[in-house]
């Protein structure tokens, strides 16, 4: 009987270790160091294994553990009231629209002194901030890729702060251009994403860091899951965000002894002004097609490139327009006495898929969930005798497949 018990037992223990360990990491890692977290992980696993010996059902037991974890996490938050906003200054980049614009309004309404940068002081976003915010908000025209503009913004901020430091620096400005396969992505797009999303953020951070250190404040970097997960057709954007993530984590370790908290926020998919603009997508696609070499365009085909554009456009149109999960997280990162090092703002099924599932299953689900390509590259179609939809051109059985699409 013992031989029949051993195999299921170890399978069971491995599965329980995976899920309970992942839950403990999710719940406790922001609050504990590596040693106590590992002890909690192993202790919870052994506890579940022992309780299983008393014939407690596994599913109710896991639900109970999850409920206890949520209660614990909420109790910690409830014991520590948020820090007051009065007298605290926050500098936010990229406030023309999207997260930056919404965050500037919320932080101003809470009583923070907000320095909001925009690319265009005469634009709709800047005018909306002037109209809806208090006199505490200061608008600054800054292109974060231009060092002289960053330095001028620093001087203007210092002039208003006087002898005070800067409580919060929110690096929000970012760009995503010409979505497509890595081979099709123009080098200018790789450079542009790196200049804005990485080098621009590094430039602003290094410039304003002395003010943040003076206040023992916070640096909040708005990144993306694309910097951690290999989303198809986001090589340029994802690479820049991956560089930003590593920079942020390194900075977090280096500034710990200064009393400065460094936080990464990874929003899920949201629809911003540019992503809901059909003309924007058409212009991006046109520029990409014009920039491709004749050889690449022949190998992939214009229909392949255009389908990618259509898929991303459709994906963005289904994305949420409610920025409140991201804005709430920014406020929490700036106001919590014990902010987490990383926040995932909004529901993200892809985060669970990437973190917990095997690679083969992860790849399959990612293709079905994120980018459902139906058009194959032209060269592969010719080689295999397939039409644009991946079907054999001389067989009529493709009608059913095309009807299902």
Catalytic residue flag (residue 237): yes
Which of 237, 300, 304, 343 is catalytic? The answer is: 237
- Dihedral, CA of residue 348, residue 351, residue 356 and residue 360, to nearest 10: 110
Whole-number Å distance between alpha carbons of 367 and 385: 24
Contact 158, 210 (CB under 8 A): no
Give the β-pairing of 113-118 and 138-141. parallel
Between the CA of residue 247 and those of 197, 202, 206, 240, 288, what are the distances in Å? Answer: 11, 8, 12, 11, 30
113-118 and 261-267 beta bridge pairing = unpaired
Catalytic residues: 237
């Amino acid at each position: 009987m013992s031989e029949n018990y051993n195999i299921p037992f170890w399978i069971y223990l491995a599965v329980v270790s995976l899920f309970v360990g992942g839950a403990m990491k999710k719940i406790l890692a922001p609050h504990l160091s590596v040693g106590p977290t590992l002890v909690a992980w192993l202790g919870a696993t052994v506890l579940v294994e022992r309780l299983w010996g008393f014939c407690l059902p596994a599913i109710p037991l896991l639900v109970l553990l999850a409920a206890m974890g949520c209660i614990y996490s909420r109790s910690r938050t409830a014991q520590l009231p948020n820090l007051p906003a009065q007298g605290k200054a926050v500098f936010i980049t990229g406030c023309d629209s999207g997260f930056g614009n919404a965050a500037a309004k919320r932080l101003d309404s809470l009583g923070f002194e907000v320095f909001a940068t925009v690319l265009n002081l005469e634009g709709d976003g800047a005018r909306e901030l002037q109209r809806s915010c208090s006199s505490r908000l200061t608008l600054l025209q800054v292109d974060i890729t231009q060092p002289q503009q960053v330095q001028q913004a620093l001087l203007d901020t210092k002039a208003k702060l006087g002898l005070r430091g800067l409580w919060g620096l929110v690096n929000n400005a970012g760009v995503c251009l010409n979505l497509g396969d890595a081979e099709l992505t123009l080098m200018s797009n790789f450079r542009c994403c790196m200049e804005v999303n990485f080098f621009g953020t590094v430039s602003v951070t290094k410039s304003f860091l002395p003010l943040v250190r003076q206040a023992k404040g916070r640096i909040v970097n708005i990144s993306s899951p694309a910097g951690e997960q290999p989303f198809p057709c986001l090589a340029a954007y994802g690479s820049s965000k991956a560089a930003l993530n590593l920079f942020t984590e390194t900075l977090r370790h280096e500034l710990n002894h200064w009393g400065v908290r460094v936080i990464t926020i990874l929003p899920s998919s949201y629809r911003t002004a540019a992503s809901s603009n059909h003309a924007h997508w058409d212009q991006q696609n046109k520029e990409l097609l014009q920039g491709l070499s004749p050889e690449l365009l022949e190998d992939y085909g214009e229909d392949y490139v255009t389908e990618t554009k259509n898929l991303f456009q459709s994906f963005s149109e289904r994305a949420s327009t409610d920025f409140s999960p991201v804005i709430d997280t920014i406020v929490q990162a700036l106001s919590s006495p014990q902010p987490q090092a990383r926040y995932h703002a909004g529901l993200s099924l892809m985060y669970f898929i990437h973190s917990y599932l095997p690679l083969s299953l992860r790849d399959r689900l990612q293709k079905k969930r994120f980018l459902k390509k139906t058009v194959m590259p032209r060269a592969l179609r010719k080689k295999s005798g397939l039409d644009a939809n991946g079907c054999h051109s001389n067989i009529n059985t493709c009608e059913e497949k095309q009807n299902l699409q």
